[in-house]
Structure 1
């Protein structure tokens, strides 16, 4: 049976039970060197702050909640608002919509109704818009009573969303607009951080449905988080971002083994796929690097939605992807190696904001990925 064919039937199933999933993160120190770009710096261990941050954290407080479940608190949102968010999540989980869809749906409801199930607002009403998603009965969304039912309204939103070709690779704004056809198409993006936080808190933001009962668990290697992000390698963090002894280290080093797959952290377009310093003999990428070899070796840069860029350095061989290629979250990009400025196999991983590939655009990868529900340094 297709997803859209399951919609009416799936709503009648029981909600997934509340689950608590915690991920223990261990930072394994190894003797590596990594430049992470064109600058060269020697490895030090993680700072005390980084070790503390990595010691233990979860991807969220609990799974989708039963109707009578206690709600965790999220700053700025009331119990009724969070109850509506839990309903949106539950419907998405019941319908087997990937968790990224939950974030899109909640962000949309934030923009349309501030997560309030609105009735007719009289002169302040936008035409005949009603409910969480401000769906209009005159436009075929259902009767006034139906669109003010949070379960029905959520189901109709997901029904439209899954029919949008390529929605899982779109930015949140584009996916939401494809469903809503809003007069303010750029308004949805600003709600993505709060929507992701709510999913993290209510439903283990890194969660994915597994098995017939749609039990939720934190994202493991190869699983895509609710935000659309995934862990690039399964490995501990061996060197942190801009530590006191390496203030110009623009990423984190993940101590993966030679030959491990390197995965795209999110959907996007490849903008760089090459050997760094391959025009400066004897520094080549067809051999292992060293502490005296400059650069990233074989590396890939990917541009994602909202001008976020990720970088993957020190691959063993030529990358598997080419410039201009669209890649999906979790798609293999290359193989862990030690080309470039490196004294041992590992992945140097960077996150840049505002489309800025320079050091000025680099941001803390641990914090970024944790907030996206796909924390670095996790095992399973």
Structure 2
């Protein structure tokens, strides 16, 4: 019997070979792991949490660098969120916060190493009103207090993870939470039947395939069919995918992040002529945007019709409009060339298949609704 991951990879490869068309020009890479844990993560990616979270007292596996006991604490956090009717986006935020504060370990008083009198998974301080030392060391209690505080923050579900966590924790290191979002998403997906793929603010575990922001923090940049695929046999240097629609369709940031580049990309002759339609063989991305997201994931958006609506170093939210579809640069017709890169590596070595990557985030490409 074939295993889930192999089926997914085979299907993705066949789809890539069948896709035709268009243009583009940058890079991407994906976390395809051949171990059983990786296969389990991929198999849950097609669900949206309908199966519910696992029992924390069940036999739990290691996930990434976290032991079974640490994963049990994550399961408790998720189950408490479910019991409080907090949506899966809150579970991802809570798990990522505990990863930063304690590495998912229920810490007691650490003496001189302690940050004031912080204790427990969330390093909550009894002296600041979080509860008694015994209470904040109770994973159920500390998780409940975290969610209760999160619920009081206006628009918490629309905030980038690091800002939502910081508003609860008031940490001396406010930017530290973001780096845990990718693994927190994987943990929630594995422990809760793919719940990080559900719509972020929904309790109904609705899949985020309609362009809404998933609990993972990702959304589709453009609802459109996929044209030319990633590194196909006919276009092995095509480092992204082409989403083909008419001109002027809004392009959205695929996740919260910081804009790292806005430019008119030069063509093969060194010209910056992005305000006119391009053509095959011209070279360059035309008007383009790059955004750095949590976990050093970078997304790239090419061939915009005019100067993008964002500027470098601007913070953007998932689903925020950053520009409009065009055909500038090395292009045979209106479309968005979309790339995903890991480790903030802008080269071809960092590029991954956006179709597979976005499928895992719960925001699959290729649907026009």
2:198 to 204, 207, 220: 207
The equivalent residue for 1:321 is 310
Query: Map of 1:122-201 to 2, 5 A cutoff?
Result: 129-161=118-150, 169-170=159-160, 172=162, 176=165, 179-180=168-169, 191-201=180-190
Q: TM-score when scaled to structure 2? A: 0.70
Cα distance in structure 1, aligned partners of 2:55 and 2:91: 18
**Structure 2 CA distance for partners of 1:193 and 1:271, relative to 1, 3 Å:** closer
Out of 322, 325, 331, the residue aligned to residue 320 of structure 2 is 331
1:138 is paired with a residue of what secondary structure? helix
Cα 1:262–1:358 change in 2 (3 A) is: same
1:59 aligns with 2:50: no
How many residues align? The count is 339
Alpha-carbon spacing, 1:133–1:283, altered in 2? closer, same or farther (3 Å)? closer
1:106 Cα offset (Å): 0.9
Offset at residue 300 of structure 1 (A): 1.9
Q: Which one of the candidate residues 199, 207, 223 is aligned to 2:212?
A: 223
Stretches of structure 1 that go unaligned for 5 or more consecutive residues are: 1-21, 40-52
8 A contact 2:180–2:295 mirrored in 1: no
The 8 Å contact of residues 240 and 338 in structure 2, kept in 1 or not, is answered as yes
Change in Cα spacing, 1:108 to 1:210, as seen in structure 2 (3 Å) is closer
1:170/1:305 contact within 8 Å kept? no
1:175-224 CA distances to partner (integer Å, 9 max, x unpaired)?
A: 6466446688887566444321111223421212666xx11122124322
Q: Give the CA deviation at 1:109.
A: 2.5
Give, in whole Å, the separation in 2 of the partners of 1:79 and 1:303: 32
Aligned residue for 1:5? none
- Normalising by structure 1, we get a TM-score of 0.69
Matched residues in 1 for 2:21 and 2:272: separation? 18
Gaps of 5+ in 2: 1-7, 28-38
Task: Choose which of 350, 362, 366 in structure 2 pairs with 1:373.
Answer: 362
Equivalent residue of 1:234, what SS? coil
Which shifted more, 56-65 or 102-111?
56-65
Give the conservation status (yes or no) of the 8 Å contact 2:200–2:217: no
Q: What do the CA deviations read for 1:78-126 (whole angstroms, capped 9, x no partner)?
A: 7765454344234445666564442231133235455455667999988
Higher helix share: 2
Contact 1:296 1:339 in 2 (8 A): yes
Q: Secondary structure at the match of 2:197?
A: coil
Q: Assess if the C-alpha contact under 8 Å between 1:251 and 1:364 holds in 2.
A: yes
Correspondence 1:77-116 to 2 at 5 A: 81-92=70-81, 99-115=88-104
Contact 1:71 1:202 in 2 (8 A): no
Any idea what SS the aligned residue of 1:208 has? coil
